[in-house]
Structure 1
Amino acid sequence: MAGGKIQKKRHGAGTGGGGARLQGGIPFEKSKGQHILRNPALVDSIVAKAGLKPTDTVLEIGPGTGNLTKRLLEAGVKAVVAVELDPRMVLELNRRFQGHPLSSRLKVIQGDVLKCDLPYFDICVANIPYQISSPLTFKLLSHRPIFRCAVIMFQREFAMRLVAQPGDSLYCRLSVNVQLLSRVSHLLKVGRNNFRPPPKVDSSVVRIEPRKPLPPVSFKEWDGLVRICFNWKNKTLGSLFKQKRVLELLEKNYKIMQSLQLAQDAEMGEEKMSADDVALLANMVEDLSMETPDEKEDDEMEMDDSDMGGDGGTSFKEKIMGILQQGDFAEKRGSKLSQVDFLYLLSLFNKAGIHFS
């Protein structure tokens, strides 16, 4: 199923005189993102691009009436596990595949995909309700064991944020975090008229391949840095890191690390992103939604020109500025930085004993 930003209707409300309904007369609920993909050629194309193998267990999310489910089963995979929230759709699926020669390969789970424990799967192929795009993406990326890939249809703008590159207008914190954990590629654009009923937006199919192994970085550290850089993504890093609240946070972390006498250079060099670390992504959904906050005006940025006094008489602010200048980052902007740039900048801060968590 798929859905755009459409106003919710009361649970169980009909769709009106010309509203779309299931074969049994059950109305679709737009509030649940129930927009059924009705173009058979498009369904076939999605399955073909998934690169399925006979040994694959496929996870399908929001199967709806089972158009994609049927193609997945016919592709000769080992099993299809379909997770569906709407009990009416579960009944429809069971009725449709009852007595089907491949029905033994299908398992239907009724429940909220964001709340239930996902079973083992090799690949995810899904046409999802768009309102769960962000939390679902990060739930999949935190799933263990790591799956091979996911081929998912998203609202087009969300998909374009996932694949955006440095300098693109849609490049944001969502782009940076997803691309840290996976390789993302755009597969095809899907017009709204391929659905019944048509949503108000176009869609895109995206391929997400989790990185194996995960990058050798603490995600807490990574996101702390990226969060600062994208608060005002078109401001220079030199301006961002002069903010009083940023300096106070970093100096507090700096003093804590010093007091604990941790050998940070050695430890951070060995630190890896753990499954628990990645799982923190699930709690960041509200910050990583498709919508990005409006840029704040210059006069809203609380700057600090005082001596923070955090390094034996040397201004802590000067210490921070020195790190930025060392990597030639002071005049650069977060919206222009690549994954390699962020990793390098984080390593410079960490080597100087500056941490973001």
Structure 2
Amino acid sequence: MPKVKSEKKFRKHQDIQKQGIGFNKDIGQHILKNPLIIKTMVEKAGIRNTDTVFEVGPGTGNMTVKLLEGSKKVVVFYILFITCNLPLYNKLHLIVGNVLKTDLPYFDICVANLPYQISSPFVFKLLLHRPFFRSAVLMFQKEFGDRLVATPGSKLYCRLSVNTQLLAKVNHLMKVGKNNFRPPPKVESCVVRIEPKNPPPPINFQEWDAMIKICFSRKNKTLGGAFRLNSVLDMMEKNYKLYSSMKNQMVDKDFNAKEKVTQILLSSGFESKRARNLDIDDFLSLLLAFNKEGFHFS
């Protein structure tokens, strides 16, 4: 029996190759084959007939066809596009290349079954893209999607959760099992909708992210412990002196970064708190407390 099953798989693979279709798992190419999931993703995107839609990794074009039907234009980024026999082809704009290394085009909506290995950098490239887009409906590995929507106190709450939720409203839409793909991936998947906040919070994102990285470097320890690491104190002292010189302010001879940082944490009430339990407002208050005393993170 195992031999028969193996032969069937081999014949199926040969049939696919005869059609000129090959799958490259090294670039995350697992083709979404369930039309109901494709239909749901497109519906959840809320596409208007005046919209330009952005898609990454079109594969066989199953999703692309549906996007073309309801939009004004579809811009597709791809490394390997398996077929070009699509209806409404005149509405399709193809761009060959690595989406992480190329400027993004103008678009209103993003809908994509992403290669999972580019999930994190792609999300932040999207969220920092201007002009603003309306929303993105994206397929992710389930654990990554769960981290995006995780709330304070949950096991998956992390730097990714905080940074994404600072810049956008994030909602989990549905789970997607392995068997909805060809070939099936090793992990479960999910679909998430991301709506950027417009206008964004009036803070320097690089500085924010640098602080959040410190906070979550010791996720289960107190912030007092995280900020008193020698490497962190050295960086903060260097930045303090740099910003002081930019403002033509003298640094006291007896300046002690460790004592100053501890004082800020104690007076703001964050000394004994843990990053895993803090929300966006808490982190904003912490950043403000440091900035008021001349400490910056970038």
**Is residue 22–residue 28 contact of structure 1 (8 Å, CA) maintained in 2?**
no
**Identical-pair percentage:** 56
SS class of match (1:224): helix
> Which position in structure 2 is the counterpart of 1:177?
163
Could you tell me whether the CA contact under 8 Å between 1:161 and 1:174 is conserved in 2?
Answer: yes
Q: Is the 8 A contact 1:21 1:28 kept in 2?
A: no
Q: Which residue number in structure 2 is paired with residue 194 of structure 1?
A: 180
Structure 1 residue 231 corresponds to structure 2 residue 246: no
Higher-RCO chain (CA-CA 8 Å, sequence separation at least 6):
1
Indicate whether 1:112 and 2:98 are aligned.
Answer: yes
CA displacement at 1:329 relative to structure 2: 0.5
**Is the Cα–Cα contact under 8 Å of residues 145 and 172 in structure 2 kept in the other structure?**
yes
* 1: CA distance, partners of 2:51 / 2:211: 38
Give the aligned partner of residue 330 of structure 1: 271
Alignment partner, residue 53 of structure 1: 48
Q: Secondary structure at the match of 2:101?
A: coil
Partner of 1:40: 35
Distance 2:61 2:231 in 1: 52
**What is the DSSP-based 3-state SS (H/G/I as helix, E as strand, rest coil) of the residue aligned with 2:99?**
coil
Structure 1 equivalent of residue 118 of structure 2: 132
> How big is the shift at 1:205?
0.4
2:192 pairs with one of 201, 206, 216: 206
Q: How does 1:1-357 map to 2 (within 5 A)?
A: 17-19=11-13, 21=16, 24-74=19-69, 76-86=70-80, 89=82, 92=83, 94=84, 96-97=85-86, 100=87, 102-261=88-247, 311=252, 313=254, 315-357=256-298
Gaps of 5+ in 2: 1-8
SS of the residue aligned with 1:114?
helix
Residues in 1 aligned to 2:63 and 2:109: alpha-carbon distance in whole angstroms? 14
SS at 2:289 equivalent:
helix
Structure 1 residue 311: Cα displacement: 4.8
Q: How many Å apart are 1:22 and its aligned residue?
A: 6.2
Cα distance between partner residues in 1 of 2:285 and 2:10: 57
Task: Give how far 1:220 is off.
Answer: 2.5
- Are the equivalent residues in 2 in contact too, given 1:184–1:209 (CA < 8 A)? yes
Flag the structure with higher helix content: 2
- In 2, distance between residues paired with 1:338 and 1:226? 11
Q: Counterparts of 1:317 and 1:81 in 2: how far apart (Å)?
A: 51
Letter of the 1:86 partner, please give it. Answer: L
CA RMSD of aligned residues (A): 2.0
Amino acid at match of 2:291: N
Post-superposition offset of 1:314: 6.3
Distance 1:172 1:29, change over 3 A: same
Deviations 1:290-343 (A, max 9, x none): xxxxxxxxxxxxxxxxxxxx7564643222112111221011011111111111
Change (3 A) 1:170 1:333: same
Contact 2:236/2:257 (CA < 8 Å) preserved in 1? Answer: no
Contact 1:122–1:148 (Cα < 8 Å) also in 2: yes
* 8 A Cα contact 1:38 1:195, kept in partner: yes
TM-score (norm 1): 0.76
User: 1:49 Cα shift?
Assistant: 0.6
Contact 2:222 2:275 in 1 (8 A): yes
Alignment deviations for residues 55-84 of structure 1 (CA, whole Å, 9 cap, x no partner):
10001111111111111122x211111111
TM-score (norm 2): 0.90
Secondary structure at the residue paired with 2:179? Answer: helix
Q: Which moved more, 1:344-353 or 1:35-44?
A: 35-44
- Unpaired stretches in structure 1, ≥5 consecutive residues: 1-14, 264-309
Structure 1 residue ranges (4+ consecutive) displaced by more than 3 angstroms after TM superposition:
15-20, 310-316
Give the whole-Å Cα distance in 2 for the aligned partners of 1:106 and 1:120.
14
Give the match's secondary structure for 1:199.
coil
Query: CA offsets per residue over residues 135-184 of structure 1, 9 Å max, x none?
Result: 21122122221111110000111111111111111111111112222111
